[in-house]
Chain A
Amino acid sequence: MIIDINFVGLIIASIMASAVPLILASCGELITERSGVLNLGVEGMMIIGAISGFALMTVTGSLIVAVFGAMLAGVLISTIFAFLTQTLITNHVATGLALTIFGIGISAMIGKNFVGIPGKEFPILFESLKDTIPLISPILFGHSIVFYFAFALPFMTNYFLKKTKLGLIVRAVGDSPESASNQGINVRLVRYACILYGGAMSGLAGAYLSMIYTPQWIENMTGGRGWIALALVVFSTWNPIKILIGAMIFGGLTIIQFHMQAIGVRIPVQFLTALPYIVTIIVLVVISRDSRKIRLSTPSSLGKSFHKDN
Chain B
Amino acid sequence: MIKIVKRDQPSKAIFFFTPVLAIFLTLVAGGLIFFILGFKPFEALKFFFIIPIADKYGFSELLLKATPLCLIAIGLSFCFKSNNWNIGAEGQLTFGAIVSGGVALLFYEQEGFYILPIVILAGAIGGMLYASIPAILKTYFNTNEILVSLMLVYVSKLILDYLVVGPWSNPEGFNFPETRQFSDSAKLPLLFEGLRIHAGIFLALAAVVISWFVFYKTYLGFQMKVSGFSLKTAKYAGYKGKKMIILVFLISGACAGLAGVGEITGPIGQLHREISPDYGFTAIIVAFLGRLHPVGIIFASLVVAITYLGAETAQIFMQIPKYTGQVFQGMILFFLLASDYLLFFKIKFIGSKK
Interface residues of A (CB under 8 A from B): 40, 80, 84, 88-91, 93-95, 97-99, 101-106, 108-109, 112, 224, 227, 230-231, 234, 268, 270-271, 273-274, 277-278, 280-281, 284-285, 288-289, 291, 294, 309
CA gap between A93 and B337 in the complex, in Å: 11
Closest to B138 in A: A288
> Are B338 and A105 in contact, with the CB atoms below 8 A?
no
The smallest C-beta distance from B226 to any residue of chain A, in angstroms, reads 19
Q: Does B184 contact A (CB under 8 A)?
A: no
Question: Interface residues of B toward A: which range?
Answer: 35 or more
Closest to B137 in A: A285
CA gap between A112 and B37 in the complex, in Å: 12
Pull 22 A–B residue pairs with CB atoms less than 8 Å apart, ordered by A.
A80-B334, A97-B87, A98-B333, A98-B337, A101-B326, A101-B330, A105-B324, A106-B323, A109-B321, A109-B323, A227-B150, A234-B147, A270-B165, A274-B158, A277-B154, A278-B151, A278-B155, A281-B143, A284-B147, A284-B148, A285-B137, A309-B6
CA gap between A53 and B154 in the complex, in Å: 26
One of B158, B327, B333, B340 near A271 (C-beta < 8 A): B158
One of A80, A84, A102, A284 near B144 (C-beta < 8 A): A284
Contacts of A273 in B (CB 8 A): 158
- Tell whether A90 pairs with B338 under 8 Å between CB atoms, given A270-B162, A281-B148: yes
Closest to A294 in B: B142
Per-residue contact bits, chain B 148-182, to A (CB 8 Å; 1 contact, 0 not) = 10111011001101100110000000000000000
The smallest C-beta distance from A287 to any residue of chain B, in angstroms, reads 8
One of B141, B158, B338 near A270 (C-beta < 8 A): B158
Knowing that A97-B284, A99-B330, A277-B152 are A-B contacts, what are 16 other residue pairs whose CB atoms are under 8 Å apart, sorted by A's residue number?
A88-B341, A89-B341, A90-B341, A94-B284, A95-B337, A98-B330, A98-B333, A109-B323, A224-B154, A227-B150, A268-B162, A270-B165, A274-B155, A281-B152, A284-B143, A288-B144
CA gap between A153 and B278 in the complex, in Å: 35
Interface of chain A, main secondary structure: helix
CA gap between A40 and B284 in the complex, in Å: 14
Contacts of A108 in B (CB 8 A): 321, 323, 326
CA gap between A274 and B153 in the complex, in Å: 10
For chain B, residues 324 to 346, give those with C-beta under 8 angstroms from any C-beta of chain A: 324-331, 333-334, 337-338, 340-341, 344
> Are A101 and B333 in contact, with the CB atoms below 8 A?
yes
Q: Does B285 contact A (CB under 8 A)?
A: yes
- Tell whether A230 pairs with B334 under 8 Å between CB atoms, given A270-B162, A277-B155, A281-B152: no
